[in-house]
Amino acid sequence: MAANGIDKALGISPQVLALRMKRMNLLTANIANADTPNYKARDIDFRAAMASATASQARLDATKPGHIAFSGSTEQPQVQYRRPLQESTNGNTVDAQLEHAAFMENAMRYQASIQLLDNRINGIKKAIKGEP
């Protein structure tokens, strides 16, 4: 991502939106597969994903001869499987209520980020035009 002035002015909202979108896809997949036998519900740890998305240069130092050089991308968030409260008999671990709550929460936070981004863009516009 180019580090020009406008990018800096927008803060971390673009990364937040990208991650929220990713999480939304996962949660939609969970809802879509609510009746699929042996499907395991998945989600991401948003805090960890956000930390790795905003870290400018994540790296692992090879301090000993036996260490393997780290070449993995830190951009892709780690997808994890949800631990089911109660497993169903067909091996499906989707809890419809839980997924719904998470989906709505994710959507609302997405909108909050959009709102923040909106305000920032309007602020920049005002600054460019020189209007009060």
Which residues of this protein are in contact with another protein, per CB under 8 A? 17-18, 21-22, 24-26, 28-29, 31-37, 39, 42, 79, 96, 100, 103-104, 107, 110-111, 114, 117-118, 121-122, 125
| CB closer to another protein, 37 vs 67 | 37
Start-end of H helices in 39-131: 46-54, 96-129
| CB closer to another protein, 54 vs 122 | 122
Residue type, 86: Q
Residues 93, 96, 100, 103, Cα dihedral to 10°: 30
| CB closer to another protein, 24 vs 50 | 24
Structure tokens at 82: 């949800």
